[in-house]
Amino acid sequence: MFETTYQRNHHEESNCPERVGAPAEHPRDVDLERASGAGRIVLTGDESVTRVAEVYQKFPIGILFPKIGDGQIKEAVIINMSGGVAGGDRFEIEVEALNKASFAVTTQAAEKIYRALDRPARIATKLKVCEGAKLAWLPQETIIFNKARIRRQTEIDLCSGAEVIALEWLVLGRAASGEEVVSGYILDSWRIRKDGHLIWADGFLVADETFAQLHRKALLSNWRAVGTLIYFGPNLDARLRSLREIATSLDCECAATIVGAIIIVRVAAPVSRDLKRGLRSLLDQFSRELGRGPFGVPKMWSC
């Protein structure tokens, strides 16, 4: 299910048109009120403290900075005040870490992608991490409901000397509620650049006709919760060995490899509860390996 850039571009054109030929008398996403939200955070700092240099919020996106432990701001929490994402919604998030900023960004709760009428929702995340800065992008899970349509793109611009963990994870329906996802459209793509050069492009695509095949072992088998975590920083070979050791102790499937200048970690589980428990353990153990920084489990995950 992970495909090349060229394959993805073809599928974007063929499988997910802007409007899927609904009869004029039927309601369309474009005819209904839809959200267009945005948020931007710029962080800076020195050896002792990280400061918020700029904040921009456009409803329904809100950004909070809870004080944790010693009272310093170490974590930003992004809130979608509309309560979920519907077809035709658009959200843009930008985070920029300058100088020696050390910061984690998460979300208030799981994001929910609801059934669309005829248009995909669009979520764009752009992260920029400059030399000397440390950033952890650790949102909570994204839950996909049946017949949801979503295009999500995560773009990360890295500078030599930065250190980054970034995570995105998907849950296909809530197993505890007996939900099943049998149709819809999901395009979850990544673009990562180092010093201005593209070093990794990836996409996860499931379209209407594909859902019936997802149970095959060559695809998702019995996994309904899947995620991708990337790490960029020093000592990649040692970090990779550590992650592979951690993987053997988790309550979910986990594998890690190096692609170019980054470590790619895939995680999967039959239900979201198992995946979240595995991710918490992974972040807890790996952050101890990394030492000082924002790479542990966000406090908001426990609220």
- Note down pLDDT in tens along the chain; length 303 residues: 334 333 334 344 444 444 444 445 677 776 677 899 999 999 999 888 999 999 999 999 999 998 876 667 789 999 999 989 999 999 999 999 999 999 999 999 999 999 999 899 999 999 999 999 999 999 999 999 999 999 999 999 999 999 999 999 999 998 778 889 999 999 999 999 999 999 999 999 999 889 999 999 989 999 999 999 999 999 999 999 999 999 999 989 999 999 989 999 999 999 999 999 999 999 999 999 999 899 999 999 987
Please state the pTM of the whole predicted model: 0.89
276 within domain boundaries: no
In 3D space, the residue among 147, 52, 39 whose CA is nearest the CA of residue 93 turns out to be 39
Distances (CA, A) of 245 to 106, 132, 231, 242, 285: 26, 28, 16, 5, 10
Q: Is residue 175 part of a domain?
A: yes
Crossing angle for the helix pair 272-290 and 236-247, nearest 10 degrees? 140
CB neighbour list of residue 262: distance below 8 Å, 6 or more residues apart = 192, 199, 200, 230, 231, 232, 236
CB-CB contact of 153 with 182 (8 Å): no
Determine, yes or no, domain membership for 215: yes
Count of CA atoms in the C-beta half-sphere (13 A) of 265: 29
| Domain count within the chain | 1
| Residue 261 covered by a domain | no
Q: Do the domain assignments include residue 239?
A: no
> Is residue 236 situated within a structural domain?
no
Q: Tokens at residue 170, please? A: 């998907």
In order, the DSSP letters of 153-196 are: EEEEEE-TT-EEEEEEEEEES-GGGT----S-EEEEEEEEEETT
For residue 272, tell me if it sits in a domain.
Answer: no
Residue 132 lies in a domain: yes
Q: Which domain holds residue 84?
A: 2-19+30-219
